[in-house]
């Protein structure tokens, strides 16, 4: 531990930061992306046009364009120094996976040629049988394949150890089952486009453009010195501390939040930004977060599929650049007990290129009608599928955060802000005939009162908050892919927009003059049935837990409580109706996420035992020995002295031993009827027993002589930079 501290204080930065005086921003941004611009310059006109039709208008791809595109891609990549190409995919582990192939192939005459054609571009075959599939791939057909996602650009990754071309792909079983995070997102995007355009057409606003969903994920993370990281097996293996007493100074003073960024961190951030600019990731903001050692990076929002790939790149880049700066980046949702955890606020909107965000309140009565209808559809979706929304953010890590009075509670509700909530209230209460007389807002007739955009009173305790022209889903974990949340949101919204369209059509029967009255009626109906999901108060307060229960809102506190929602009847119907995920695919996902949860807790509990037995107990006993020696010496010298420290340590050593034995005993059980039962057992039995061990160990940290304590303390990890 002392060596770690010495190494940190002697650290010298080695990386030269990016500087726009020497390198112009336009030279950097997207320089490693096989972008539309590059393709336009390199591809025959017809091929480029055909590609754009698929990319921008969602038309089916003409397979003959793959050959010329592959040729151009190869030429471009090799000129940039690439030796290999890799199909990048996003398995259900939430990580980014790569399979590398060399461009070089022997030509059979002792030489070699660079080989990469349309066939190799379109389809790859990773030996990926060890990725989780939840029983979707029988072993004899264990190989899934990767399919080119041409909607996102290929790019070059430069590494000190080599440069390679990355091709974004979907990962699918031979029978066409989705084995990854991307495939259902692409399907959900199709669903929201179709339902979105139908909805817009009711208002005369379908102009042939696609309706897309957008995501602006704000990524939180912790940075610490690598010397501390390596001195903490819990951080290395689990990404979070399993032990560690609360520091004398934590985040109470709030002096880190938006404070000056430490120099070393700044040079790290500059390099992260440079790397991400090259990859065309539009990172925009950076600042300190609430906890010491915690930071945030946010890009400008982009269309969902691209934003999702980019968020994966952000996570990978944060980790790799941190290494180069002698630091470790933690993406875990709760690395330090008692200190704020990390989340990923997912800013979500639906838009078209001509209308912008459909969540922007309009200035005219006609615009207000469409805005209120889509917002009502959102309220309905979030209420109807609140358990689904909770389940897609469920993970062992996120359980430490949700409901810990720093992140939104596990209860899914919607914040609309006072003004908008009042409008929906009025619509709900207003009887149609009397509204005019009562001076209430009439949908499609009156203009909306001005709504504060991004107002200062932004409620940070709500899991799903309206922020002026978008919603912010705040329950996503920092370590999670944002794909799952968007798959759920887009599919829920497709269903809800279709519902609204159906109901409106039932009333108007094609008569446009009845549209505003129909909207008013439909919104009123939605508010009566689903309006109880709207909550503008303090989500951290105990009162909300009680109030939410009274309103009948689910409160799924843990991952094993939340995951089964994924395979409930209405959710399966929803996903099958929109061809986003089949019942089989949903069941496989639910199983995989349970397995991941169980595996996580299993690893953590094993490590708790190991660290307690081999690191903490020996330190405590060494100190106990020292104290006993002193006591014996004093006695021999005829000094009569009390030995309270010795009694305290002896007592704690005994307690630690007992708590370890208790945990080990619980860990023996293996005969579970199902993975669900195992997960429940891990939540209710193993996690509390781990905490019992930790409680004694953390007390010991305050008793044992500092020079004997082996693990870097919270204070050291969080404050030494
Ligand atoms: P704050 O911390 O105040 O919530 P940030 O600036 O850190 O705000 O992040 C806001 C995120 O929301 C950014 O990624 C931004 O691009 C994104 N965003 C802004 N408008 C929209 C929109 N219409 N749809 C989706 N995301 C949006
Ligand atoms: Mg923010």
Q: From the alpha carbon of 216, which atom of ligand 1 is closest? A: 14
Q: Which ligand is nearest to the CA of 357?
A: 1
Residue 45 pLDDT exceeds 50:
yes
Q: What angle do CA 525, 421, 365 make, to 5 degrees?
A: 75
Task: Compute, in angstroms, the gap from residue 301 CA to the centroid of ligand 1.
Answer: 6
- Which residue has the CA at smallest separation from atom 19 of ligand 1? 301
State the Cα angle at 243 between 545 and 657, rounded to 5°: 110
**Among the bound ligands, the one closest to the CA of 213:** 1
Contact status, residue 378 vs residue 534, Cβ threshold 8 Å: no
Name the residue with the closest Cα to ligand 1, atom 3.
454
359 C-alpha vs ligand 1 centroid, how far in Å? Answer: 13
Report the pLDDT value the prediction gives residue 88, as an integer from 0 to 100.
Answer: 93
Residue-level pLDDT at 159: 79
How far, in Å, is the centroid of ligand 1 from the Cα of 447? 26
Average pLDDT over residues 162-181: 90
**489 is written with which tokens?**
């949101």
> Minimal CA–CA distance to 469: which of 376, 358, 576?
358
The confidence score (pLDDT) of residue 124 equals: 82
CA distance 381 to 500: 11
103 pocket-lining for ligand 1 (C-beta < 6 Å): no
- Predicted confidence at residue 115, as pLDDT, reads 78
Q: Does ligand 1 lie within 6 Å of residue 218's CB atom?
A: yes
pTM of the complete model: 0.94
Residue 363: per-residue pLDDT: 86
Instruction: Flag the least confident range among 124-128, 203-207, 235-239, 286-290.
Output: 124-128
Q: How confident is the model at residue 128 (pLDDT cuts 50, 70, 90)?
A: low
What does the DSSP assignment read for 333-351?
S-SSTTS---BEEEEEEEE
User: 526 with 411: CB under 8 angstroms?
Assistant: no
What's residue 134's pLDDT? 74
Query: Mean pLDDT over all residues of the chain?
Result: 90
- Separate counts of helices (H) and strands (E) for the chain: 27, 19
What DSSP designation does 401 have? T
Percent share of the chain, pLDDT over 70: 92
Crossing angle between the packed helical segments 583-611 and 569-577, to the nearest 10 degrees: 120
- What is the 8-class DSSP label of residue 566? G
Give distance in angstroms: CA of 313 to centre of ligand 1: 18
Res. 161: pLDDT tops 80: no
- Tell whether ligand 1 has an atom less than 6 A from the beta carbon of residue 183: no
Q: Which of 215, 347, 355 to mutate to test the pocket of ligand 1 (most atoms within 8 A of CB)?
A: 347
- Highest mean pLDDT out of 51-65, 353-367, 676-690: 676-690
Q: State CA 188 to chain mean position distance.
A: 18
Question: Any idea which ligand is nearest the CA of 469?
Answer: 1
Rounded distance from Cα 279 to ligand 1 centre (Å)? 20
d(CA 270, CA 28): 13
Q: Is the CB of 469 under 6 A from ligand 1?
A: yes
For residue 569, give the 3-state DSSP assignment: helix
Please give the share of the chain, as a percent, with pLDDT higher than 90: 68
Identify the pLDDT of residue 429: 85
Q: Is 596 in the pocket of ligand 1 (CB under 6 A)?
A: no
pLDDT at 437 over 60: no
Q: Which ligand is nearest to the CA of 471?
A: 1
Task: For residue 220, report the distance from its CA to the centre of ligand 2, in Å.
Answer: 9
pLDDT at position 17: 60
Please indicate whether residue 470, judged by its CB atom, sits closer than 6 Å to ligand 1: yes
Looking from the CA of residue 360, the nearest atom of ligand 1 is 23
267 lines ligand 1 (CB under 6 A): no
In this predicted model, what pLDDT tens digit does every residue of 659-705 receive, in sequence order? 999 999 999 999 999 999 999 999 999 999 999 999 999 999 999 99
- CA 218 to ligand 2 center in whole angstroms: 6
Radius of gyration of the chain (CA): 28
Q: Quote the pLDDT of residue 456.
A: 44
Distance CA 646, CA 667 (A): 32
Ligand 1, closest atom to CA 296?
7
**Does pLDDT of 432 surpass 60?**
no
Whether ligand 1 lies within 6 angstroms of the CB of 357 is answered as: yes
CA atoms of 696 and 213, how far apart (whole Å): 49
Task: Check: CB of residue 302 under 8 Å from CB of residue 212.
Answer: no
Segment of 105-119, 509-523, 559-573 carrying the highest mean pLDDT: 559-573
Q: Which ipTM was obtained for this model?
A: 0.96
Structure tokens at 302: 């982009």
Give ion ligand 2 contacts, CB < 5 A: 218
Q: Give the closest ligand to the alpha carbon of residue 350.
A: 1
> Which of 470, 476, 482, 486 gets mutated to test ligand 1 (max ligand atoms within 8 A of its CB)?
470
Q: What confidence score (pLDDT) does residue 185 get?
A: 97
In angstroms, the CA 90 to CA 309 distance is 9
**Is ligand 1 within 6 A of the CB of residue 300?**
yes
**Atom from ligand 1 closest to the CA of residue 469:** 23
> What is the CA(633)–ligand 2 centre distance, in A?
59
Mutate to test the pocket of ligand 1, among 282, 301, 302, 465 (most ligand atoms within 8 A of CB): 301
Task: Convert the pLDDT of each residue in 451-500 to its tens digit.
Answer: 766 554 567 889 999 999 999 999 999 999 999 999 999 999 999 999 99
Give helix 644-667 / helix 687-701 axis angle, nearest 10°.
160
242-270: pLDDT as tens digits:
999 988 766 655 555 555 567 788 888 98
Rounded to whole angstroms, the Cα distance separating 355 from 361 reads 11
Please state, in angstroms and rounded to a whole number, the distance separating the CA atoms of residues 120 and 255. 53
Ligand 1 pocket member 347 (CB < 6 A): yes
Highest mean pLDDT among 172-186, 271-285, 551-565: 551-565
Q: Which residues pair with 346 in a beta bridge?
A: 217, 473
All domains of the chain, ordered by start, with CATH? 32-180 (3.10.20.70), 189-581 (3.30.590.10), 596-719 (1.20.120.1560)
User: Measured from the CB, is residue 285 less than 6 Å from ligand 1?
Assistant: yes
Pick 399 or 7 by higher pLDDT.
Answer: 399
Q: How far is the CA of 190 from the centre of ligand 1 (A)?
A: 23
Confidence of residue 113 (pLDDT cuts 50, 70, 90): confident
Choice from 218, 307, 468 to test ligand 1 binding pocket (greatest atom count within 8 A of CB): 218
CA angle, 499 as apex, 494 and 500 as ends, to 5°? 100
| Cβ atoms 226, 266 nearer than 8 A | no
In short, whether 368's Cβ falls inside 6 Å of ligand 1 is no
């Amino acid at each position: 531990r002392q060596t770690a501290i010495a190494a940190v204080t002697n650290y010298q930065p080695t990386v030269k930061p990016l500087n726009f005086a020497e390198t112009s921003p336009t030279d950097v941004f997207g320089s490693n992306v096989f972008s539309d611009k590059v393709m336009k310059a390199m591809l025959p006109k017809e091929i480029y046009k055909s590609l754009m039709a698929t990319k921008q208008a969602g038309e089916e791809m003409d397979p003959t364009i793959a050959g010329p595109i592959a040729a151009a891609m190869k030429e471009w990549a090799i000129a940039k120094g690439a030796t290999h190409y890799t199909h990048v995919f996003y398995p259900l582990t939430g990580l980014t996976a790569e399979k590398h192939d060399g461009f070089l192939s022997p030509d059979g005459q002792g030489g070699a040629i660079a080989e990469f054609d349309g066939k190799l571009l379109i389809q790859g075959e990773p030996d990926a049988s060890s990725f989780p599939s939840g029983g979707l791939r029988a072993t004899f057909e264990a190989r899934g394949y990767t399919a080119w996602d041409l909607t996102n650009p290929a790019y070059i990754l430069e590494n000190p150890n080599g440069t390679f071309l990355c091709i974004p792909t979907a990962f699918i079983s031979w029978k066409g089952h989705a084995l990854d995070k991307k495939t259902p997102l692409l399907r959900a995007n199709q669903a929201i486009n179709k339902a979105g355009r139908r909805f817009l057409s009711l208002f005369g606003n379908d102009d042939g453009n696609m309706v897309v969903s957008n995501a602006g994920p704000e990524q939180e993370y912790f940075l610490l010195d690598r010397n501390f990281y390596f001195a903490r097996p819990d951080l290395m293996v689990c990404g979070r501390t399993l032990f560690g007493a609360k520091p004398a100074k934590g985040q109470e003073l709030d002096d880190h939040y938006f404070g000056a960024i430490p120099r070393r961190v700044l040079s790290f951030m500059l390099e992260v930004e440079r790397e991400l600019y090259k990859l065309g990731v539009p990172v925009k903001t950076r600042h300190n977060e609430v906890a010491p050692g915690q930071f945030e990076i946010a890009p400008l929002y982009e269309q969902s599929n691209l934003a999702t790939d980019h968020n994966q790149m952000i996570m990978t880049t944060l980790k790799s650049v941190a290494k180069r700066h002698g630091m470790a980046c933690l993406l875990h949702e709760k690395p330090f007990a008692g200190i704020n955890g990390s989340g990923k606020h997912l800013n979500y909107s639906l838009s078209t290129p001509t209308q912008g965000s459909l969540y922007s309140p309009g200035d005219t009565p006609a615009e207000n009608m469409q805005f209120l209808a889509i917002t009502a559809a959102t309220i309905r979706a979030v209420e109807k599928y609140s358990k689904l929304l909770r389940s897609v953010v469920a993970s062992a890590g996120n359980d430490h955060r949700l409901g810990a009075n720093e992140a939104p509670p596990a209860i899914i509700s919607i914040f609309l802000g006072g003004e908008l909530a009042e409008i929906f209230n009025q619509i709900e209460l207003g009887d149609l005939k009397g509204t005019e007389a009562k001076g209430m807002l009439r949908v499609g007739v009156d203009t909306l009162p001005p709504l504060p955009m991004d107002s200062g009173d932004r409620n940070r305790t709500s899991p799903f908050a309206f922020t002026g022209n978008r919603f912010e889903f705040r329950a996503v974990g920092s370590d999670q892919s944002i794909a799952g949340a968007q798959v759920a949101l887009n599919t829920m919204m497709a269903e809800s927009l279709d519902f609204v369209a159906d109901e409106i059509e039932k009333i108007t029967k094609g008569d446009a003059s009845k549209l505003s009255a129909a909207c008013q009626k439909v919104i009123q109906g939605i508010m009566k049935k689903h309006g109880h999901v709207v909550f503008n108060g303090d989500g951290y307060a105990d009162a909300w837990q009680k109030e939410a229960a009274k309103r009948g809102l689910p409160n799924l506190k843990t991952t094993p409580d939340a995951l089964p929602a994924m395979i409930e009847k209405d959710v399966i119907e929803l996903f099958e109706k929109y061809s986003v995920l089949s019942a089989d695919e949903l069941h496989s996902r639910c199983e995989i996420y349970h397995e991941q949860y169980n595996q996580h807790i299993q690893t953590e509990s094993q490590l708790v035992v190991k660290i307690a037995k081999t690191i903490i107990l020996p330190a405590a006993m060494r100190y106990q020995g020292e104290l006993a020696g002193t006591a014996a010496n004093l006695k021999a010298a005829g000094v009569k002295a009390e030995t309270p420290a010795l009694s305290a340590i002896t007592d704690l050593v005994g307690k630690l031993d007992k708590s370890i034995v208790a945990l080990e005993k619980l860990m023996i059980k293996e005969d579970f009827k199902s993975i669900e039962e195992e997960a429940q057992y891990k939540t209710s039995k193993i996690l509390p027993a781990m905490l019992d061990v930790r409680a004694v160990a953390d007390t010991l940290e305050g008793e044992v002589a500092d020079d004997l304590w082996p693990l870097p303390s919270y204070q050291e990890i969080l404050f030494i930079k």
